[in-house]
Structure 1
Amino acid sequence: MATHEARTLQIAIQRTWNDVYDYASIPENLPEWASGLTSALQKSGDEWLADGPAGKLRLRFAPPNKFGVLDHWVTTETGEKVYIPLRVVANGGSSEVIFTLFRLPGMDDEKFAADAAWVKRDLQRLKDVLEAQLIE
C-alpha cells in the first residue's frame, strides 16, 4: 500500500474548541462553510448525500466524540473514496482546526495546490462564520 504525500492546513479560531466542534460536527452546517457541498445535503441511513462540483457525493462522518475528531469519508459518483482527517484542538481559550490533505493518485502539482487553496478558503470561511457569531 502506497503512502500519499500529505499537506497539513490549519487555522486558529477565536472560539473554544467545544464551540468549533459543536458547530462543525453538524452535517447540516457544512454548506455554510464547505464550498464543495451544496445545500442539497440529506441524510440517508448512516451516510449523507450531497451535490458537489464534480457530481453526487456520499459522506460518512466520525461518530460524535469528546476528542475533536471531525474525520469524514467522501465517496464520489465514480466510487472513489477519499478520507479526510479533520481535527479541532484547544489552543488556550481558542482553537486550531487542522485538516490533512492527501495527494490522490494521478493528482498533479497544480491540482494538489488548487485543492490546498480550496481547503484554506473553506477553513477561513469556517473561522469567519464562527467568529461572526461572537459579534452578533
Structure 2
Amino acid sequence: MVRLHESKMLRVVIERQPDEVYEYAVNPERLPEWAASFALAVRKEGDEWIVDTPEGPMKVEFAERNAYGILDHYVTVAPGIRVLNPMRVIPNGMGSEVIFTFFKPDEMPMEQFELEAANVLQDLHSLKRVLEQQR
C-alpha cells in the first residue's frame, strides 16, 4: 500500500495579474519581504540559494522560470532531507490565486504541522498585501 502524507492546500486571492504575481514571487531575494516566518535573509552561494530561517540556514532549490506560474521549490531541512513545496500562481478572474501545498513530514507532531501551516498562510497573506499595495 502506498503511504501518503497529511497535507493542506493553502490559498490566497490577489488582485493582480498572474504574470505580475509570478514575476514578484519567483525572485528568491524577495522572500524576506513576504515570507518572514521562513526567510529572515537570502543569499546566493555559487549556484545555490541559502535561506536563513529561524531554524538555521537551509538550501532552497527553485523550479526553473516558466510560463505556467509554477513556483515549486525544495527545501533541504537537514542533510539528506529535501522537502517539496508545490506552489502555483493561477488566473482567477481579473486577478490571481496563489496555491501552496504543505505536506506534513512523518516525524512532525500534528500541533507543529498546524502551526507551520498557519505561518505559511500568514506569509501568503503578506504576499497579497505587498502586491496589492504596489498598485
Bin of the TM-score, shorter chain as denominator length: over 0.9
CA contact (8 A) 1:46 1:60 kept: no
Q: TM-score, normalised by structure 2?
A: 0.93
The structure-2 alpha-carbon separation of the partners of 1:77 and 1:51, relative to structure 1 and needing over 3 Å to count, comes to farther
CA RMSD of aligned residues (A): 1.2
1:122 Cα deviation from its structure 2 partner: 0.1
User: SS of the residue aligned with 2:134?
Assistant: helix
Structure 2 unmatched runs, 5+: none
Aligned to 2:82: 81
5 Å-filtered alignment, 1:1-136, equals 2-35=3-36, 36-39=38-41, 41-134=42-135
Pairwise CA distance, 1:131: 0.2
The count of corresponding residues between Structure 1 and Structure 2 is 133
Provide the C-alpha distance between the structure 2 equivalents of 1:74 and 1:26, rounded to a whole number of angstroms.
Answer: 16
- Please list every run of at least 4 consecutive aligned residues from structure 1 whose deviation after the TM superposition is greater than 3 angstroms: none
Structure 1: gaps (5+ residues): none
State the identity as a percent: 46
Q: Is the 8 A contact 1:55 1:76 kept in 2?
A: no
What's the CA shift for 1:77?
4.1
Scaled by the length of structure 1, what TM-score is found? Answer: 0.93
